[in-house]
Amino acid sequence: MQRIALFPGTFDPITIGHLDIINRALPLFDKLVIGIGRNINKVPMFSEEQRVNWIREIYRDTPQVSAVVYEGLTVNCCQLVGANFILRGIRYVNDFEYEKAIADMNRSLDHNIETVFLTCLPQYTSVASTLVRDVLRNGGDVTQFLPEVVAKSLQK
């Protein structure tokens, strides 16, 4: 059985913190699907197409990484892509409490799907898409927080 993980999030935009989790997860899984979730409570800054394109460009030489857009329950997306793991990144202790509650609910919905938590490296704890968007909206330079592909596309 292949070890397939879904890494769900909005990735609006994808940051170096996300890449830290993705890159460190690659040796753990045969396939890693980046799931861009539609969240009715959030209005994204970047289109789904743009976010998918960034991921595909960043990982164009890594065939085990793919990207999908999904709506609804994360466990349903797992079932659609054949994932038996959900990957989540943890920055702070309170992230763990929140993510554990979600993991417990997901396990209740589908007992075949296990959540795997990776803690981010200390230098990435303050890197969050929400903060990056705030800096962008206010005209600040976010280059240091973004993968080169994303930073270059924003400069255009």
Give tens-digit pLDDT for 84-99.
Answer: 999 999 998 889 999 9
The CATH number given to 4-155 is 3.40.50.620
How far is the first Cα of the chain from the last one, in angstroms, to the nearest whole number? 44
Question: Domain-by-domain residue ranges, the chain?
Answer: 4-155
156 is catalytic: no
Torsion of CA 69, 44, 120, 94, to 10 degrees: -110
3-state secondary structure of 59: coil
The single residue of 3, 38, 100, 129 carrying the catalytic annotation is 129
pLDDT-derived band at 43 (thresholds 50, 70, 90) equals confident
3-state secondary structure of 87: strand
137 is catalytic: no
42 is catalytic: yes
91 is catalytic: yes
The single residue of 3, 42, 60, 152 carrying the catalytic annotation is 42
Is the model's pLDDT at 156 over the cut of 80? Answer: no
Give tens-digit pLDDT for 124-143.
Answer: 888 999 999 999 999 999 99
pTM of the model: 0.95
